[in-house]
Amino acid sequence: MKPYRAPGWLPGGQAQTLWPLLIKPKPIPLRRERWETPDGDFIDVDHLDGPGESPLLVLFHGLEGSARSHYALSTAHACTRLGWRLALPHFRGCSGELNRRPRAYHSGDSAEIDWILRRLQRENAGHRVHAAGISLGGNALLKWAGEQQQAAAAVVTGVAGICAPLDLAACGHHLAKGFNRIYTRHFLDTLKARSAARLQHFPGLFDEMRMHRSRNLWDFDDAVTGPVHGFAGADDYWTRSSAKPWLRKIAVPALVINPRNDPFLPASALPGLPDVSASVRLEQPATGGHVGFVSGSFPGNLDWLPQRILHFFRTEIA
C-alpha cells in the first residue's frame, strides 16, 4: 500500500486534524446492544452486521469519541463495501447516557479492553476477530496487547493503534501549548460537563472546585481522572497508562501509525525500532495530523485510514 501523502491544498497537521469535521461521512444504520459490566455498570456496543462467516473488526474510539466520530463512520462505510462486520464499543459514558458507577474510562483502561474483546471473541468463536483503536482507544489497546503478550493471540489476530498518545506526559504537555490549546478546551468542555453530572450522583467523588478550575489536561487528570480511577494524580496516571513501554512486549502482529505532524504528540516522543518488539510495524508518515488522513481532490475524503487498517488485517498478518 502506498504511503500516505497529504494533498497540496491541505497543509499542516492542524488543518488535517480539523478538516475531517467538515467532510464527515454520512451516518450509517447500526444495531445497538447494551452489555452489563461485571461491576454493575453498562456499556453500549454498536454493531454493523454482515455475513456470519465474515471477519469482525472491533474499533475502539478516542477521547470523548463515539460511533458517530468521523473515523468510526468512515470505517463503517469501508466495512460495508468489503462485507465485514464491525463492532464499535463505547467507553463508559460515551454513548449518550451517563454510566451508573463512579468510574468512567481512561487512556490506560486495558482491563475494560480485555473484558470487551474476550466477550466478542467468545461470541464469534471460529471467526477472525481483529482489533483497532483510535487515539485514546489505540493507547489502551496497545497497552493491553503488551500486557497480554502471547495470550493476546487467543483473542485477536492482531492489533492496530492509530494516532495513539503513546507517551501521555509528552502528549498532555504538548496540548497545553500554543494553538494546541484549542483541542484542550474542546475536551475540557465535555469532560467537565460529564464529570459535573457524575458528581450529582456521587457527591464528594472528587474536588469540584479543582475540576472547574482545570485549564489543561494535567489539571483535570490530577483532579478527576487520577483519583477516580485509583491513581495518585496526573503524573502517576500518565506514567502507568502510557502504552509506549509496552510496545516491546507485544507478541501479536501490530500496526502502529503516528503521523509526525500530529499536534497531539510531538515527533520527538515517537517510538523507534529499539522501543518495539519484532511483531510491531511502525508507520510514521510526515503528514496526517491527528486522525486526519484527508486524501483525494477537494474537498477530500476520509477513505485512506479505514483502507489502511483493513489492508493490514486482510493481507499483512499471518
Active site residues: 135, 262, 290
Cell of 96: 449518550
CA atoms of 259 and 99, how far apart (whole Å): 33
Torsion angle of the four alpha carbons 102, 106, 108, 110, in this order, in degrees rounded to the nearest 10: 60
CA atoms of 45 and 123, how far apart (whole Å): 13
Which residues, other chains included, contact 3 with Cβ-Cβ below 8 Å and sequence gap of 6+?
Answer: 283, 285
Cell of 107: 487512556
Strand partners, 278: none
Which stretches of the chain are DSSP H helices? Answer: 13-18, 70-82, 110-123, 136-148, 168-174, 181-201, 208-213, 217-220, 226-228, 234-241, 304-315
CA atoms of 49 and 65, how far apart (whole Å): 21
- Strands 159-162 vs 129-134: parallel, antiparallel or unpaired: parallel
CA atoms of 291 and 306, how far apart (whole Å): 11
Rounded to the nearest angstrom, the gap between the alpha carbon of residue 222 and the centroid of all alpha carbons in its chain is: 21
Cβ burial of 310 (10 Å; 0-12, 13-18, 19+) is: buried
Q: Given the C-alpha cell 517510538, which residue does it identify? A: 271
The backbone torsions φ and ψ at residue 31, rounded to the nearest 5 degrees and listed phi first, read -100, 125
